[in-house]
Amino acid sequence: MLIPQGMAYALIAGLPAEYGLYAAIAPQLVYALLGTSWQLAVGPVALDSLIVASGLSMMEFTEPSSYIFMAIALAFLVGAIQFVMGLLRLGFVVNFLSRPVISGFTSGAAIIIGMNQVKHILGIEIPRTNELSDLLIQLVKHAHEVNWFAFLVGGAGILIYLMLKRYFKYVPAALVLVVLGILLVWSLNLKTINIVGEIPAGLPDFRWINFNNMPFNSLFQLAITLALVGFMEAISLAKILQEKSNDHEVNANQELIALGAGNMVGSLFQAYPTTGGFSRSMVNHSSGAKTPLTLLVSAAVVAATLIWLTPMFYFLPKAILGAIIIVAVVGLVDFKFPLSLWKYKRADLAMLLLTFGLTLFVGIMEGICGGMLLSLGLMIYRSAKPHIAVLERVKGTPFYKNVDRFNDTVSREDLVVVRFDAQLYFANLSYFQSTLRSIIKDKGEKLKLIVLNAEAINFVDSSALVMLNGFYGELRRQGIDLFICGAIGPVRDVMHKSGFTERVGSEAFFVDVNDAVRFYEGQPVVKAYQQLSSQVNS
């Protein structure tokens, strides 16, 4: 799979086919030594190849070879960023790429990758673009130039590939397709079809990266995007493989180091950015791979191909490579997840669709960057306006539940129980105060006690403590008491050290809402109070 896919993905990146094979040697060897996943197949992938083409196509080049040099330099920068992130233990950063953003971006990018291969299936030459509207316009404009031989070869290639995948799962469909395509063009001497042509024989040379006369700032920005997206692909796939095999543990920070070192070393041997490939990794797993030795064997086979077998690929039609890519990326378009979001989380669906639209109609870079900003923005919004529930006692029980979810609750005019379902910090203080003031206003002058259920508050910052002190004073001036129940240890510690506990009195802290209300009513809760009081003061 790796040989035909590597060559095909290099074409997506705008590079000669042999650079896909170069990228399949050194990165694999390094990852086999440093990686923590035993079945992850590292090498060129479709999505990263498209990002490389999208980013580099926006830069100016004095000569064609400059494009290749910059793609190789980009691999070094991507590797350096990932390596440093691993050393600094920043593997958690990828968590800021939410699932809706990943799904929307991947689906949009997969469609653009597939549409970019239609020109090879049709045998026409159109300018490379990563905007769907431009692609469609160009395809319509050049429709009269269709090469019907190429169309028949590419169309037949897609059908054969799909049939082999469906009925003969263990047959290497991509390799079979490559062999059939080469034999067809060679035997019939189809000179009208675009072919790969001559591939330089031999292993890639060792070359130092020279950043002179390169737009370093633009390259670095592109490298950050590739480093994050590549790591996101690899770590999510590595965790899936871990769950399937259940015989090893994946370490996110070590994965960053391994991927980064692989990209840096690979760039010295003319490789462009690489990461874990989904289809090849799954085949690796299903074939029974148990150790990273499979990567060493894979790299050795690719190296042997470069040394002895490159003349065999001369007659390989580009329509066949296009067919391989189209079938490979169809599986990246996600339909199930958006449909499930429609049922239970439409805000996330909107974020997915916005990311999808940006990727398709604005650009690849804009899609991933816009998606990340949307994800962070939604996270900040939800954090700034978290869920706040008013609780009342359910009839015949000591349990206090959300009044919006239970109908048989007992309402009281003299007290209100409020549950705040988030950390209490500077970003949501205004929302916290305004909501409580609104509740107090609705209750009227008979209100004498507010019970803050703090079970869900796992963090309180200094701004929140200042606010709580001021808010407590405001309540006292209105003749209203404040009780706090269910506060966890770290929150109680901060309140105690800051002096807030001393101000409201340790007797205002309770284990649960029921104890707080019983204490307010004058009923005995001595045991629970003494236990919590000793913990607060310790």
Q: Per residue in 2-50, pLDDT tens?
A: 888 899 899 889 899 999 999 999 999 999 999 999 889 999 998 899 8
Question: Where is average pLDDT lowest: 68-77, 185-194, 471-480?
Answer: 185-194
Do 219 and 310 share a domain, yes or no? yes
Of 66, 175, 164, 50, which is closest to residue 110 (Cα–Cα)? 50
Using the predicted structure, report yes or no on whether residue 458 has a pLDDT greater than 70: yes
Return d(Cα 536, Cα 538) in angstroms, integer. 6
Q: Please give the pLDDT value at position 197.
A: 87
Cβ–Cβ < 8 Å for 83, 90 = no
Strands (E), 34-163: 42-43
Do 210 and 140 share a domain, yes or no? yes
Task: Specify the number of domains making up the chain.
Answer: 2
Do 131 and 167 share a domain, yes or no? yes
Do 331 and 411 share a domain, yes or no? no
What average pLDDT does range 133-156 have in this prediction? 89
The per-residue DSSP string of 525-538 comes to -HHHHHHHHHHHH-
Using the predicted structure, report yes or no on whether residue 532 has a pLDDT greater than 80: no
What average pLDDT does range 234-263 have in this prediction? 88
Return d(Cα 120, Cα 151) in angstroms, integer. 8
What average pLDDT does range 462-484 have in this prediction? 94
Do 402 and 313 share a domain, yes or no? no
**Secondary structure of residue 361 in the 3-state scheme:** helix
Do 357 and 502 share a domain, yes or no? no
Q: Please give the pLDDT value at position 106.
A: 82
Do 389 and 476 share a domain, yes or no? yes
Q: Please give the pLDDT value at position 379.
A: 84
Of 235, 331, 241, 237, which is closest to residue 285 (Cα–Cα)? 241
Cβ–Cβ < 8 Å for 250, 37 = yes
- Rounded to a whole number of angstroms, the CA Rg of the chain reads 30
CATH number of the domain bearing residue 454 = 3.30.750.24
Return d(Cα 440, Cα 147) in angstroms, integer. 76
**Domain boundary, last residue among 321, 355, 380:** 380
The mean pLDDT of the chain is: 88
Using the predicted structure, report yes or no on whether residue 315 has a pLDDT greater than 70: yes
What average pLDDT does range 250-278 have in this prediction? 94
Q: Give pTM, 2 decimals.
A: 0.77
Do 346 and 479 share a domain, yes or no? no
Q: Please give the pLDDT value at position 528.
A: 47
Q: Which domain holds residue 427?
A: 385-537
As a whole-number percent, the residues of the chain with pLDDT over 90 amount to 53
Do 321 and 183 share a domain, yes or no? yes
Q: Please give the pLDDT value at position 110.
A: 84
As a whole-number percent, the residues of the chain with pLDDT over 70 amount to 97
Q: What is the pLDDT of residues 83-99, one digit of tens each?
A: 999 999 988 877 777 88
Do 71 and 183 share a domain, yes or no? yes
